[in-house]
Amino acid sequence: MSRAPRSSAARRSWGDDESGTSILHVDMDAFFASVELVRRPALRGLPVIVGGAQRGVVLAATYEARAFGVHSAMPMAQALRACPQAVVVPPDHTAYREVSAGVMDVLGSVTALVEQVSIDEAFLDVAGARRRMGPPTTIAEHIRAQVRSRFGVTCSVGVAATKLVAKLCSEHAKPDGMLLVPRQATVDFMRTLPVGALWGVGERTEQALARWGIRTVAEVADLDVTTLQRIVGQAHGAHLHDLAWGRDPRPVRPGHATRSIGAETTFETDIGDPALVEARALELADTCAARLRRAGLVGRTVAVKVRTSDFRTLSRSHTLVTPTDVGREVFLVARRLLAGVDLRGLPVRLVGVRVEGLRRAEDVPHQPTLDEAVAGPGRRDAELAVDEVRARFGRRAIGPATTTVSTTLGLDKAALGGDRPDRSTTTFAPVELS
């Protein structure tokens, strides 16, 4: 659910000359919520929020809920205060992945030049498909019709000469629309937008520009580039100046690699005991490692995220010498990082673990760790065996040393986030937490 700044002026017609506009950006409309409405048609027309329980965050919301100010990443408690009549639906990520895969198959039938950038959006370069399927807007309408008829959900499509403008077009076409900006209208279109619409302009950059009275893309474009560089930095200033003039030479890159794999959780109640936070980090590290192995990837950088009860979010990261897909190795780094976070004595609301710097496992020569050199490759083999068990019996069939952790730390279901299956007899690879 994008919250990028929009402009009413940018939604108007910019002409119908499609020459040189081969880039499409396809963005699903309120994707998670739309999938849930297909499964629960009785909820159509109601304000629906997809997300965790009272302590969770909003993952997606229907446009009826958005009208009340509900948006993604908003704490659920805040969302329900804004829209108390909303229907909250728990997420089903398996269903979302299945629909996403189907949508990407539709895009792949149009052109091989598809760059998926998230579960619900992708860029296409349709220059090679024009002779077979017609002009870009015809292709865009074909995609929208196929997605609607096959999956019952809608998407918005931007058509432009560059990736930046195509993405901005799809945002302004929402919901369930299409917007074309011809190549010759690119600069005029960009000049209608607020400065926050530019990629790379976050809250701090926007504030820095505002101190100079710069609030629109037009003002960025008209500013001398050296002055802009003094405000936001040399490289960033030159980049923003190019974007303000619609210059974005990046091609569509098929098979764009996943940048990171992570998992996080929001506790049902704020946790003041570091041992309980550490225990959840163990589960999250195990989840990350399993996803890495499933994708055939390894990663070099382990990062943790902690959100305290005052909603302050802290992050730390560490880069390994050798890439890994082993949960124990990810956890040991995450544990050290968590120990170094200054919580200021506040309890923890959310904890997350992420692995970055990903590469294909087959491209990385394997160098045995000290443990493997002494005792053989038992740790990774054990985790691979667990993957097989989970593939047959489900993700919750076996967990990472939960008996040792729960017995030692006295974990209870309420503290760790609600009802969870009792796994006291199905554990593997105990990890010492002291």
For tokens 């038992």, what's the residue?
A: 378
- Are the C-beta atoms of 369 and 398 separated by less than 8 Å? no
Query: Is residue 121 flagged as an active site residue?
Result: yes
Query: 3-state secondary structure string, the chain?
Result: CCCCCCCHHHHCCCCCCCCCCCEEEEEECCHHHHHHHHHCHHHCCCCEEEECCCCCEEEEECHHHHCCCCCCCCEHHHHHHHCCCCEEECCCHHHHHHHHHHHHHHHHHHCCCEEEEECCEEEEECHHHHHHHCCHHHHHHHHHHHHHHHHCCCEEEEEECCHHHHHHHHHHHCCCCEEECCHHHHHHHHCCCEHHHCCCCCHHHHHHHHCCCCCEHHHHHHCCHHHHHHHHCHHHHHHHHHHHCCCCCCCCCCCCCCCEEEEEEEEEEEECCHHHHHHHHHHHHHHHHHHHHHHCEEEEEEEEEEEECCCCEEEEEEEEEEEECCHHHHHHHHHHHHHCCCCCCCCEEEEEEEEEEEEEHHHCCCCCCHHHHHHCCHHHHHHHHHHHHHHHHCHHHCEECHHHHHHHHCCCCCCCCCCCCCCCCCEECCCCCC
175 preceded by a cis bond (ω within 30 of 0):
yes
Which entry of 18, 64, 115, 121 is annotated as an active-site residue? 121
User: Could you give the residue numbers annotated as active site?
Assistant: 121
